[in-house]
Structure 1
């Protein structure tokens, strides 16, 4: 495989294989991901998903050899901006793939897109970048932040829950999450609680939930925050009394740590590992074999990001210097997504299906989310109508 993977700020640089150099220079892709701290597992899934795609593509994108440069944004927007400038000015990358967190996406959006470097998000989808601040150089292979949360709002409404307690971290994605839930839920919000990003102790919030006795809680708590919340929720005896609805709180990035504490809890997603297609089955099987863990959506979106870049470069004959031709090819999204239905809307965010999922246990003893029902079909985000810059 003719791809080189460099990791900056981590311990090692890995060359996946050597091959005779092509006359054409190597394409350069920067992966900007959170790879340290409580939420590092999210970035690890995205990194591993992208690298698995590179393996499956023979180490090439659009027929070109590739150098992949991995940088850790440390979940610090100022650090991320510095590292992005290095990717653009020193490494001269053709694409930046990342980030995981929306505060990093917002901070790095302008320096990347102002340089006319294509920025492809495998997770973060803040509302402003889908709407008024959309940009022809920014694409998401994930979703707009609100959408997975909208699934749970719709489910809560459909199931007749009269009172719901809302809980999220105090940053853009947390605010988008609760806004998404409320878009379809019309019942009473008994409490809307925000905690600091990377908060790990939820005892005061759990005491409120126990005293208020809502019909359900809805939460968005990614990474280590979600691990602790689920364990503490179960330990407090609430899991059997008050339904736990969430997005990104119980998924394949957190389940290895949550394990039985998460069984039966619900999530909203555009995909699940048990999605029954040959392409997805192979992806999940290969990912488990390579990394000994079940892939989360972060891995799937990053895999799709590589497929997207590959499809666009095939359309341009491997050329990345004609930005308009490359942008047009990216917009067409002529690849087969692991999730099935996929196309870009007017704002370069996906139009796709969304599901209610539930935590279950695989025959091999590993945990995964599994599709319960489809909630939205070919669903576009609510902010696309505010975007005027991508066409």
Structure 2
């Protein structure tokens, strides 16, 4: 009996030491996170704001999320699906990331979504929200902290209907997000369309289209042109004299990344979204203050939704104590969405897209003479996206 005990005690001590060493290793080995975004070209401000919003949380936490060290590996999609595909394969197969976040444009999301989620890598999308992945192509490994692509436009469509506009021209780039956003506007707008125009994603001269708008004499124009495209479009809209006669309703033209360049060209413009820098809840106020202190500029919605992505990961990693190998536990922790969002309350629907209020903002000059977004209405509260019932997730 004593001999047996003598053999057992050292074995137990060895097992305990091994477990302790494993725990220490788990706590000191960084969790790897891939960031994929549009970081070059005319749309670079979108991806940069996403990256800066995410890193604000990481750096504020001393390089940790959920109390565990993280390593963020950044890749530029260049707005090219083939480049994005190579980048995610590198992140997954060479860098062995456990999470991918960012993803700025819908054509990029559609290019990488199936590969990433089939590999059971968690995709924490912080901008693109195409209808396909909200519906039939949804995945239990996707968690979107921004919006489904129709939603901001739905709020503007409801605003246009409430204003009594009878004839509206709609305009957008000819790619998935453009089609989703026009669909969203039409879902809530009950008047007639004076015109529906889709332009190439890289088009920078809108003179022909704006000449047609002038001829159509609509009550208003609704347009979606993100990043640098929006700056070019809004300036040409003003130069054509349309800003004096025809209200410009928009989604993702006027935001903190574009207002410093747009200035008077954006004054009075209407915009839809889930958040604006004038929100008064505590999480939003802290985010805006911290972002402005660190980056010396006002954050955009792109930064806000990416900041929320970092907070979501922070809460999930804390729940699982950094054990990312337990994928069901990580999935459950992400699904719970227990963090203080800049938008206020946060809840995922069955398709892992947020259920959220959608607001309308107007570009104004603030007390300091700066151009800013002022929240003027909340046309849609607790909005559920139009595609969730096509998603097989419960």
TM-score (norm 2): 0.92
Does 1:90 pair with 2:103? no
The Cα offsets for residues 51-94 of structure 1, whole Å up to 9 and x where unpaired, read as: 11112333211111011111100000010000000000000001
Does 1:242 pair with 2:227? no
Q: What corresponds to 2:3 in structure 1?
A: none
Q: What corresponds to 1:147 in structure 2?
A: 151
**Residues 364, 55 of structure 1: alpha-carbon distance in 2 compared, 3 angstrom cutoff:** farther
Q: What corresponds to 2:17 in structure 1?
A: none
CA drift of 1:364 comes to: 4.4
Q: What corresponds to 2:204 in structure 1?
A: 200
Q: Map 1:374-389 onto structure 2 (within 5 A).
A: 374-388=378-392
Q: What corresponds to 2:307 in structure 1?
A: 303
CA drift of 1:276 comes to: 1.0
CA drift of 1:310 comes to: 0.9
Computed over aligned residues only, the root mean square deviation of the Cα atoms, in angstroms, reads: 1.3
Q: Provide the C-alpha distance between the structure 2 equivalents of 1:222 and 1:77, rounded to a whole number of angstroms.
A: 18
> 1:193 aligns to what SS in structure 2?
strand
Q: Provide the C-alpha distance between the structure 1 equivalents of 2:119 and 2:176, rounded to a whole number of angstroms.
A: 24
> 2:136 aligns to what SS in structure 1?
coil
The structure 1 residue matched to 2:188, chosen from 174, 177, 184, is 184
Q: Provide the C-alpha distance between the structure 1 equivalents of 2:335 and 2:139, rounded to a whole number of angstroms.
A: 12
> 1:199 aligns to what SS in structure 2?
coil
Q: Provide the C-alpha distance between the structure 1 equivalents of 2:318 and 2:291, rounded to a whole number of angstroms.
A: 25
Does 1:110 pair with 2:111? no
8 Å CA contact retained: 2:37, 2:47: yes
Q: Map 1:122-133 onto structure 2 (within 5 A).
A: 122-133=126-137
Q: What corresponds to 1:269 in structure 2?
A: 273
Q: What corresponds to 2:69 in structure 1?
A: 65
**Residues 287, 361 of structure 1: alpha-carbon distance in 2 compared, 3 angstrom cutoff:** farther
75-84 or 362-371: bigger deviation: 362-371
8 Å CA contact retained: 2:224, 2:251: yes
Q: What corresponds to 1:289 in structure 2?
A: 293
Q: Provide the C-alpha distance between the structure 1 equivalents of 2:72 and 2:174, rounded to a whole number of angstroms.
A: 33
The Cα offsets for residues 207-263 of structure 1, whole Å up to 9 and x where unpaired, read as: 011111000000100011100111111111111211100010111121111112101
Q: Provide the C-alpha distance between the structure 2 equivalents of 1:322 and 1:66, rounded to a whole number of angstroms.
A: 17
Q: What corresponds to 2:9 in structure 1?
A: none
The Cα offsets for residues 68-124 of structure 1, whole Å up to 9 and x where unpaired, read as: 111100000010000000000000001000201000000000110111000011110
Q: What corresponds to 2:4 in structure 1?
A: none
8 Å CA contact retained: 1:99, 1:121: yes
> 2:179 aligns to what SS in structure 1?
helix
Q: What corresponds to 2:59 in structure 1?
A: 55
CA drift of 1:315 comes to: 1.2
Q: How many residues align?
A: 371
Task: Could you list the structure 1 runs, at least 4 aligned residues long, displaced by more than 6 angstroms after superposition.
Answer: none
8 Å CA contact retained: 1:341, 1:378: no
Q: Map 1:340-351 onto structure 2 (within 5 A).
A: 340-351=344-355
> 2:89 aligns to what SS in structure 1?
helix
TM-score (norm 1): 0.93
Does 1:230 pair with 2:239? no
8 Å CA contact retained: 1:41, 1:223: yes
> 1:239 aligns to what SS in structure 2?
helix
359-368 or 285-294: bigger deviation: 359-368
8 Å CA contact retained: 2:27, 2:69: no
The structure 2 residue matched to 1:35, chosen from 25, 35, 39, is 39
Q: Provide the C-alpha distance between the structure 1 equivalents of 2:155 and 2:27, rounded to a whole number of angstroms.
A: 49
57-66 or 79-88: bigger deviation: 57-66
The Cα offsets for residues 155-209 of structure 1, whole Å up to 9 and x where unpaired, read as: 1111111100010000000000100000011211111100010211110111011
The Cα offsets for residues 323-358 of structure 1, whole Å up to 9 and x where unpaired, read as: 111101100001010110210001000001111101
8 Å CA contact retained: 1:252, 1:296: yes
250-259 or 203-212: bigger deviation: 250-259
Q: Map 1:7-26 onto structure 2 (within 5 A).
A: 23-26=27-30
CA drift of 1:21 comes to: 8.7
Structure 1 unaligned spans of 5+: 1-19
